[in-house]
A and B are shown apart, each in its own frame.
Chain A
Amino acid sequence: MDAQKYPTPHLVSIRNLSFSRGSTKIFDDVSLDIERGKITAIMGPSGTGKTTLLKLIGGQLRPEQGDITVDGQNIPQLSRTKLYQVRKRIGMLFQSGALLTDMNVYDNVAFPLRAHTQLPESMIRTLVLMKLQAVGLRGARGLMPNELSGGMARRVALARAIALDPMMVLYDEPFTGQDPISMGVLAHLIKSLNSTLGLTSIIVSHDVSETSLIADYIYVLADGKIIGHGTPAVIRQSPSTWIQQFMTGAADGPVHFHYPAKNYVDDLLSTGKRY
């Protein structure tokens, strides 16, 4: 990427981000950078706030402190109008697809085009068919969201996410609950769309094998902090036992198999309590 062309070398920069939900600290002084044109994966076990991070980048949540800069603009400080201007250039693929259930596939993909452009219907048709062709679902344009399989729904949502030709696409757990074929299809799509459309992609996932195949760079999050980052090869070789356990899926390690409890024998022998 030509660094001279852009105001900042990184498309997204997060500095000293802290965020809590109630008394639980989700992020504690997190800093990371997302390089332009690359696929960056943010990995970590369930419940570490990966989706929350995407919502913070998209401006749906406000951090307690810290800066989140997207293409030179500090998201938490933007007015609503300016935030919406930035969002038009960001596509987001939700875990559930988030398709509008009262519209068919065609209208779902046309939705952002109709909302934000004054294009004639004939041109919208061409654009929608192009986006659907890119995800292989041009033939499914007349189906309603409840007639789609999970993988198809995500592909339609992906077509919708790229409808306005965004600069960046955020993927929230794109592989969760998918069969091997649709997982492969999605991984291929994410990779090929990123290079053909010149996108920047952020994938939030706990699916180690599929994500590390397509990611250019990986951040590993745990307990509100980044515990490792680097290319997939570097992460695989990481000396951290925690990262090793996460990458190999070992049942016990730094992350214990057992939820904290008192001594097993004492527990079995203490009678007279209901539980």
Chain B
Amino acid sequence: MIRLLRQLGGDTRTGFTKLGRSSRFLLLALGGVVSVLLRPRLLLNQLYSVGVLSFLIISISGLFVGMVLGLQGYYTLSDFGAEETLGVLVAASLVRELGPVISGLLFAGRAGSALTAEIGLMKATEQLSGMEMMAVDPIKRIISPRFLAGCLSMPLLAALFSAIGIIGGEWVGVGLLGVDAGAYWGQMQAKLDFQNDIVNGFIKSLVFGFVATWIALFEGYDAVPTAEGVSRATTRTVVNSAFSILGIDFILTALMFGDD
């Protein structure tokens, strides 16, 4: 019993210390953003590797999620003779929830794990120490550009995911199952609200991008500089990002749509 308590106490202390370190890390990374804006080439390189290279997985996943939504939505709605509203169902699900959440999870898996592994390996091979000894701040040079790139890429990727998903839903609903194209698009335009749906979805994706990038960069920077340490850090990035995204999604949804 005493051992259990001691273990619990130790774990809590470790957890809080890590939270403190990660908060300090976040402040430093945010502080370096100004210097990134002065050297846009660093940002462009990272936008490519974090954003553009995630484009394929996001668009293919978006297409399939949209197609499945079209299929499932049609079968349920047609029971009530409401298949005309398929467009609303597909678009609302994607823009409000599935777009930000699934692209956030995919982003953590694709870009987040790559960021952690890259930073962790740079630490293990003394590249970060080397930079410090050359009087170059690794936070400003390495972390901040990646942080900004992650925060900028994620909303765009989520928007792409939703847009391609809506097209996937149309292929299945209108193309294969015979829903009227005018109804699919018209109902969507009529029922979807810019503030409630699109802006809120955008805010979600921005928050998820911020959190996933923060976790990925911190885990890499804080990794034990060995092969095993980097591999554990990469796993932690994916697991912690997934938990954080899903948990924060619940809170944000409750705040945004709670009083509807």
Contact = CB atoms under 8 A, between A and B. Distances in A.
Interface stretch (A96-104, A192-200, A225-233): A96-104
B126 A95 contact: yes
Given A60-B133, A98-B130, 17 more contacts: A58-B133, A87-B133, A88-B134, A92-B130, A92-B133, A94-B130, A98-B126, A98-B127, A99-B130, A100-B131, A101-B122, A101-B125, A101-B127, A112-B134, A112-B135, A115-B135, A115-B136
Contacts of B11: none
Give the contact-size bracket for chain A: 20 to 34
6 contacts: A58-B133, A100-B127, A101-B122, A112-B135, A115-B135, A157-B130
A87 B125 contact: no
A175 to B, nearest CB: 17
B132 interface: yes
Nearest to A100: B127
Contacts of B125: 96, 98, 101
Interface of B: 122, 125-127, 129-137
A60 B127 contact: no
The 8 closest A-B pairs by CB, nearest first: A98-B130, A98-B126, A84-B135, A87-B135, A92-B133, A94-B126, A88-B135, A112-B134
Nearest to A164: B134
A88 B132 CA distance: 10
Contacts of B135: 84-85, 87-88, 112, 115-116
Q: Which of A96, A98, A157 has the most CB of B within 10 A?
A: A98
Contacts, number: 48
Interface string A80-124: 000011011010101110111100000000011001100000000
**Binding site of A, secondary structure by majority: helix, strand, loop or mixed?**
mixed
Interface in A208-257: none
A96 B226 CA distance: 13
A101 B131 CA distance: 12
Interface of A: 55, 58, 60, 84-85, 87-88, 90, 92, 94-96, 98-101, 111-112, 115-116, 157, 160
Contacts of A88: 134-135
Contact of B134 (A87, A95, A101): A87
Contact of A96 (B126, B132, B134): B126
Nearest to A86: B135
A100 B136 CA distance: 13
A93 to B, nearest CB: 9
A59 to B, nearest CB: 9
Contacts of A111: 134, 136
Nearest to A85: B135
A94 B129 contact: yes
B110 to A, nearest CB: 19
A99 B129 CA distance: 11
A150 to B, nearest CB: 13
A87 B130 CA distance: 11
